[in-house]
Amino acid sequence: MIRAAQSIIQRYTLPKRLSGESQDRNSLTRTAMASRRARLTSRPGWITSIITESRSLADELVNDTSVTGLQENTNRLRHYRLRGTPIDDQPLLTLATAAVIAAVRRSLSLNLFDVQIHAGLVVSQGAVAEMQTGEGKTLSGILPAYLHSLLGRGVHVATTTDYLAKRDCEKLSAVFASLGVTTGLLNPNASLLETQTAYQADVTYGPGHAFGFDYLRDRLVQQQHDRAPTGSATLAHLADRSRGNDRRQQGARQQESRQRGLHCAIVDEIDHVLIDDAISPLLLSSSSDGEAADANIHFAAKELATSLQQDVDFQMSPDRQKISLTSDGYDRIYSDCPMATHDHLARPWHEYVVLALRANRLFRRDVDYIVKDDTVQIVDTSTGRIYADRSWSDGLQQAVEAAEGVRITPETKSLASITRQRFYRMYGTLGGMSGTAANCKNEFAKVYGMPVQSIPTRLEPKRKLLPDVIVKTQEEKYAAIARDVKSIHQQNRPILIGTLNIAQSQHIAQLLCESGLRFELLNGTQDADEAAIIAAAGRCGAITVATNMAGRGTDIQLDEQAIQLGGLHVILVERHRLARVDRQLIGRCARCGDPGTATKYLSADDTLPSVIAPWIGRSIERNLGRSKRSTLEIERALRKEQQSQQKRAAETRMQLLKSDDKLQDLYMPTGRQTDPFGCCQL
């Protein structure tokens, strides 16, 4: 095997060293970098020849049954790479690809598809590979992670949630181990030492935000050391030496640091991690126990807010995103109000009232948050996850707590913050994959200097989108869903009912109970075993009701009979503002060559057509049932609105990035600082 590696290296004259990645970053503009990567990734002949050659080499590697064979090969590639061989070097790519094919075959008994290798090569060059849902992106991430781990500086593999990070790490660690590459997993409950151990591994898995928060924590440690009085480090060092602690105490800063630098990040579901999530910055804060000093003020504001009248005392923006007081409202809340001059005011009195109005009018229980164990816990609607350790900033959390009548926690103190855009741009190499990246192409190029390349599908897709069901009221919609579920269930096919929020999932669950149908509910509020529910969701006759917890990234595997019967049927109970989230949910069916169907439901009083784009709701009311053409027009209007929502979100992110460019990437507030973006904090 080593001979095979040697011979292929010799077959190519070693190319003159291209400028290293770090040099690239410094000397080339982002645009130039993007076009270089575009050149690298748009040479189909080059990809094809690597695939062909590596396949035959992989056969040799697989036939070599010695335990250390693949690991020796990795050592060889490490030397080759450390000699300055660039990441686009063809022999390097061919040998690494062959090793990965062989390792996957040995450890998982799977043969990597050409499209998976293609995507892996694209990602390894710092680009985004768009590969349709269910085509096998998880395995595509092995090759780029392996290639970049060869320098020994650590590769971070980021994805959307802790659950997916754990799943992928557990699934792929055997493949990496057979290659002689170590893996680590970021665990939200881990100690400092455990986190450091995870980062010491060649490849570290974790949710996208965790890498950013650990970076902020390291920066805080570094700042504390930097702020220590001049000479104190030397004095401490001398004292340690005199105590014989020299080695142990050396580099205390490094000992407290978690990360080893930001060498390379491979991001799965990259449009979620780098685009959707980037709407709010990462904000690290410290919390304290007990009750907030201004708890009574929040309760008083809540009482007053419930007596205020819309369009008289306050106004709400048409999209229900903002609330502001009118001048009458302003006068009213300040007239004869003892709270306005209270000793514990942390902000002007009217701000408390606006917060209370927002909590009361804009935030919904079981949609934006849940109340559990007498605490308010935030729900991330696009992943369906509940984050018990996060809170809203600038008094909003407390206003929601007051609205729910639970204990008002003290406001957290901001310690450090960074936008996700800025954080991910610091990586020496950044690449990733998603099933829905193409329509964020411009943002990837502009913000991250990354081109997006679409990977052809391996097989003709067997997914069948059934005609949309459009009705006037939610009542009609739920009745139609119940009929749909009954008829598909009679065929014994598995069904996934995807809801936008927890409240909706509970409503569907109640309907199914009334119909006497057995089902599983996955919405984060039960102590259900998520992996077990997903494992059972593809069996014949299974009905699963789930929030977006079963969306993006979830792999529902079908049993043989379910495949014969037509595969999984997905029901979209309501449209998301972003079409990509809908497409991800639909992507749970017809994966990897299996058959499957999906139906989207829409009623005029759903949030998107009634609140966000009311003209669509009116159009449904007016035109529904008139002709097939009118239905198509409603559909077109909806798609257009989803596009403009995406555009608006992109503009907000660009604005955020511009403001961030003006600020330092880290701030240490001395007093209260307003978080301009209303972000979640940890």
Ligand X SMILES: Nc1ncnc2c1ncn2[C@@H]1O[C@H](COP(=O)(O)OP(=O)(O)OP(=O)(O)O)[C@@H](O)[C@H]1O
Q: Is residue 482 near ligand X by the rule CB under 6 A?
A: no
Residue 262 or 546 having the CB closest to ligand X: 546
Does the footprint of ligand X cover residue 596 (CB under 6 A)?
Answer: no
Q: How far is the CB of 384 from ligand X (least distance, A)?
A: 15
Neighbours of 651 (CB within 10 A): 10
Out of 313, 484, 555, 641, the only residue in the binding site for ligand X (CB under 6 A) is 555
Q: Is 134 in the site for ligand X (CB under 6 A)?
A: yes
| Helix and strand element counts for the chain (H, E) | 30, 23
Of 104 and 282, the one with the shorter C-beta distance to ligand X is 104
Burial class (CB in 10 A: 0-12, 13-18, 19+), 615: exposed
Q: Which amino acid is at 592?
A: C
The minimum distance between CB 677 and ligand X, in angstroms, equals 29
User: How many Cα atoms are found within 13 Å in the side-chain-facing hemisphere of 1?
Assistant: 26
User: Is 98 within 8 Å of 61 (Cβ atoms)?
Assistant: yes
Nearer to ligand X, 269 or 606 (CB): 269
116 annotated binding-site participant: yes
With respect to ligand X, which residue has the nearer C-beta, 137 or 600? 137
Q: Which is nearer to ligand X, 148 or 272 (CB)?
A: 272
Q: Does 166 bind ligand X (CB under 6 A)?
A: no
Q: Where are the beta strands (DSSP E) in 493-641?
A: 495-498, 520-522, 543-546, 568-572, 596-603
- Is 268 annotated in a binding site? The answer is no
Round to whole Å and give the CA distance between 536 and 552: 18
> Which residues 6+ apart lie within 8 Å of 351 measured at CB?
395
Q: Is 112 near ligand X (CB under 6 A)?
A: yes
In the complex with ligand X, which residue's Cβ is closer, 102 or 370?
A: 102
223 lies in the site for ligand X, by CB under 6 A: no
553 binds ligand X (CB under 6 A): yes
Question: Is 138 labelled a binding residue?
Answer: yes
Cα–Cα distance, 55 to 114 (Å, whole number): 10
Query: Does residue 135 have a known ligand-binding role?
Result: yes
Of 130 and 202, CB closest to ligand X: 130
Distances in Å between the Cα of 541 and the Cα atoms of 7, 532, 563 are 55, 16, 12
DSSP state of 86: -
Task: Give the closest residue to 599 by CA, choosing from 625, 574, 626.
Answer: 574
* The residue type at 115: V
Q: Which is nearer to ligand X, 25 or 458 (CB)?
A: 458
- Contact present, 305 and 356 (Cβ < 8 Å): yes
Q: Is the distance from CB of 31 to CB of 449 less than 8 angstroms?
A: yes
- Considering only the stretches 326-334, 338-346, 482-490, 552-560, report the one whose residues sit in contact with ligand X under the rule CB under 6 A: 552-560
Smallest distance from the beta carbon of 455 to ligand X, in angstroms? 10
Pick from 138, 296, 315, 506 the residue near ligand X by CB under 6 A. 138
Q: Which is nearer to ligand X, 212 or 435 (CB)?
A: 435
Report yes or no: 163 and 552 within 8 Å, Cβ to Cβ.
Answer: no
Task: Work out which of 24, 53, 130, 135 binds ligand X, going by CB under 6 A.
Answer: 135
Output the six-digit token pair for 129: 């590979």
Minimum Å distance from CB 593 to ligand X? 8
The answer to whether 538 contacts ligand X (rule: CB under 6 A) is: no
- Does position 136 bind ligand X by CB under 6 A? yes
Distance separating alpha carbons of residues 483 and 480, to the nearest angstrom: 5
b/e per residue, 421-449, with b = 16+ CB within 10 A? bbbbbebbbbbbbbbbbebbbebbbebbb
Nearer to ligand X, 356 or 556 (CB): 556
Place of tokens 């060092």: 237
Minimum CB distance to ligand X, residue 134 (Å): 5
Number of residues forming the site for ligand X (CB under 6 A) = 20
- List, in order, residues 6 or more apart from 305 with CB less than 8 Å away: 353, 356, 357, 360
Does position 580 interact with ligand X (CB under 6 A)? The reply is no
Stretch that binds ligand X, among 137-145, 311-319, 416-424, 475-483 (CB under 6 A): 137-145
CA distance 535 to 557: 7
Contact string 232-271 vs ligand X (x = CB under 6 A): ----------------------------------------
* Residue with Cβ nearer ligand X (117 or 608): 117
Which of 8, 77, 127, 139 forms a contact with ligand X (CB under 6 A)? 139
Q: Give the whole-angstrom CA distance, residue 470 versus residue 600.
A: 8
592 binds ligand X per the rule CB under 6 A:
yes
Q: Is 206 in the site for ligand X (CB under 6 A)?
A: no
| Rounded Cα–Cα distance for residues 203 and 76 (Å) | 18
Establish if 477 lies at the interface with ligand X (CB under 6 A).
Answer: no
> Which structure tokens are listed for 55?
């396949």
Q: Applying CB under 6 A, which part among 154-162, 197-205, 272-280, 585-593 lies near ligand X?
A: 585-593
Phi, psi for 165 (deg, rounded to 5): -60, -45
Q: Which listed range, 227-235, 246-254, 475-483, 587-595, lies at the site for ligand X (CB under 6 A)? A: 587-595
405 is in an annotated binding site: no
The verdict on 454 binding ligand X (CB under 6 A) reads: no
Rounded Cα distance, 437 and 552, in Å: 13
Q: Is 555 annotated as a binding residue?
A: yes
Distance of closest approach, residue 495 Cβ to ligand X, in angstroms: 18
- The span from the CA of 404 to the CA of 258, in Å, is 38
The answer to whether 587 contacts ligand X (rule: CB under 6 A) is yes
Which window, 109-117, 202-210, 305-313, 342-350, contacts ligand X (CB under 6 A)? 109-117
**101 or 680: whose CB is closer to ligand X?**
101
**β-strand 323-325 against 314-316: which pairing, if any?**
antiparallel
The sign one gets for the Cα dihedral 625, 630, 634, 636 is: positive
> For ligand X, which is the closer residue by CB, 171 or 413?
171
How far is CA 95 from its chain centroid? 32
Helix axes 349-361, 396-404, angle to 10 degrees: 60
Under the criterion CB under 6 A, does residue 137 sit at the interface with ligand X?
A: yes
- What letter does residue 611 receive in the DSSP assignment? I
| Interaction pattern, residues 37-56, with ligand X; x per rule: CB under 6 A | --------------------
| Residue 166: CB minimum distance to ligand X, A | 14
Residue type, 27: S
The answer to whether 464 is a known ligand-binding residue is no
Quick one: which of 591, 604, 656, 681 contacts ligand X (CB under 6 A)? 591
Angle, helices 142-149 vs 114-124, to 10°: value is 40
The minimum distance between CB 572 and ligand X, in angstroms, equals 15
CB–CB of 215/154 below 8 Å? no
Please report whether residue 557 would count as binding ligand X according to CB under 6 A: yes
Provide the binding-site residues for ligand X, judged by CB under 6 A. 110-113, 116, 131, 133-139, 435, 553, 555, 557, 587, 591-592
Per the annotation, binding residues for ATP are 116, 134-138, 555
